[in-house]
Amino acid sequence: MGERFRKGMLLTVYSMGCGLMLSLFPFIKSGVNLIFSLLALVIGFYFFKNFSSLRSRILFFVIALLFFVVFTIVITMIMYAISHPQGAA
């Protein structure tokens, strides 16, 4: 049970890191955004080096894509709230 939990947590952490890096990429307008895409690529390489099963690799892509969508929505909502402040009630 401990080994499966460890693998699941590592899968989640790698996917979250990759999803976060990919979601930050379009919001940075300078050349620094290339660092985020390279970090996502490095995270993917480390994951593929440590996990060789096809099931783990497919789950990595699916969960990273889900984190990408969630983080993109959250960042967009935060940017909207900052640029359009609410008036006093």
Q: Looking at the predicted structure, is the pLDDT value of residue 88 above 70?
A: no
Of 17, 11, 63, nearest to 42 by C-alpha is 17
Tens of pLDDT, residue by residue over 1-18, are: 688 899 999 999 999 999
- Domain spans in the chain, listed from the N-terminal domain onward: 2-83
pTM of the model: 0.86
Region 19-26: what's the mean pLDDT?
A: 91
Q: Looking at the predicted structure, is the pLDDT value of residue 84 above 90?
A: no
Region 22-38: what's the mean pLDDT?
A: 88
